[in-house]
Chains A and B, each alone.
Chain A
Amino acid sequence: MIQFENVSKRFGSLEVLKNVNLDMASGHCIALIGPNGCGKTTLIKSLLGMVIPDEGSIHVNGAEIIHQHLHRAGLGYMPQIGKYPGNLTIGQLIDMVRHLRPDQPIYDEYLIDSFGLRTLQSKKMATLSGGTIQKVSAALAFLFNPPVLVLDEPTAGLDPLSSETLKLKISQEVINGKLVLITSHILSELDDLVSQIIFMQEGRILFHKSVEALLEETKESKISKAIVTLLAKTVNS
């Protein structure tokens, strides 16, 4: 569904992505993990077209997406830190995004309801807490029922209850055959959610494995431990 071919990006002298090759298929929940500054967000942003890679190509459903915009109709993006125009209310913001995408009239409002955003409709974005902004971001990402969901640290600022709601929604969408790409630092959260792991380090893909293969290889029962074991191995060898 999504292919990265030899994608490279540098910001000044800093090489953020080095020859990244990836192939992601639908029906999977893929975790993108790695230390801070390893290029996860840049990778995601280049898929969204917010960062333009210097080299290489990215295909979604076989079509090249660099400098294109239509593929974004099929992408739901939840940013790590949502930034929205502060003088709009939640209701106005959601209406605006709907109005900007008139050819997608069918909405999935499950998260708007279950996060209780309707009662906050008239609150301005500038007055919202970090967690509520996260909820708005999540609701917007799922609103158009996109086949690909890109979630950058989705549960970072959420309370336990909302975090569970979101995780439940994510696993439902995976069952529905969508491709979900998640970055997270909270490895324990990923256990019952993800089916594949991509590990990045210093702009390179260290490995891209299914969870079963990873667990088997390391003889662990949890993703977090498996990754620690695997990393210890690579450092030692």
Chain B
Amino acid sequence: MIRILKYVILDIIKNRLVLAYAIILAVLSWSLFSLEDNSAKGVLSLTNVVLLLVPLFSVIFSTIYLYNSAEFIELLVSQPLKRRDIWLGFYTGLSLALAAAFMIGAGLPLLFFADLGMSLILITTGLLITFVFVSLAMLVTVMTRDKARGIGLAILVWLFFAVLFDGLMLLLMFQFSDYPIEKTMIGLTSLSPIDLARIMILLRLDVSALMGFTGALFRDFFGSRSGEMISMALLVLWAATPLLISGLRFRKKDL
């Protein structure tokens, strides 16, 4: 797998889009931190950027890259290599490349400007969100043969988790506001990786009032520490599950 990984990473590095991603993140984080005199406010603004931009770029770049690598995958499959290793090689390569871009673009300014505890939690969630959305992209590409449809599906995945999911939660809350649905809401929140990440960051920043109903619930229910741990575990699960399903499908895929 290491051998495949090497070539995937070399190939991605040649792709200038990842560099552009790192630069955009860097410009955003430096400017946000220089605009705010309070670094906590900077972290908060950056959180919103990270929670929108990182999943968007991760899922769409990975999907397009995987479709464009169809030839590369076909070549690898005809070599004496395990399909599992090929698939894991692509996942690891994409994750590492995007994680490196995120570290350079957002991680460095965070470590430079913000309080260590705060920046570490934002970096961790940013990385986890990257892993989750690369994993979702792997699932999207293995499910659809058609490139246009696949990219459409990737955008839909992002739109659902970044925008629609919150709307649905709100709708649910209003509809069932007469019932004790707090615990259900907590359960439902774990269905969206972006919400989980938001909760992780906001619990640490101690601004749960800003994050609305679900965050406050989480706080009450879990308390900061265990809530954080549970969200992190759920995010890892969110990265592992689509990868596992896509790997099983790739094993049976005809090329």
Which residues of chain A have a CB within 8 Å of any CB of chain B? 11, 45, 48-52, 67, 69-73, 77, 79, 83-87, 96-97, 99-102
Contacts and interface: CB of A to CB of B under 8 A. Distances in A.
A50 B79 CA distance: 10
Closest 6 CB pairs of A and B: A83-B71, A73-B80, A72-B80, A85-B72, A51-B254, A50-B255
B116 to A, nearest CB: 40
A51 B255 contact: yes
B74 interface: yes
A84 B82 contact: no
Nearest to B255: A50
Residue picked from B70, B79, B251, B252, most chain A C-beta under 10 Å: B79
A99 to B, nearest CB: 6
B254 A69 contact: no
Interface string B49-89: 00000000000000000000111101111111111000000
Contacts of B83: 69
Interface stretch (B3-11, B175-183, B187-195): B3-11
Contacts of A100: 3-4, 76, 79, 81
A54 B76 CA distance: 22
Given A50-B255, A87-B11, A101 B71 contact: no
Contacts of B79: 72, 97, 100-101
Contact of A86 (B71, B81, B251): B71
Given A69-B82, A69-B83, A87-B14, A50 B77 contact: yes
A70 B82 CA distance: 8
Nearest to B76: A100
Nearest to B4: A100
A85 B71 contact: yes
A96 B7 contact: yes
Contacts of A84: 71-72, 75
Interface in B79-113: 79-83
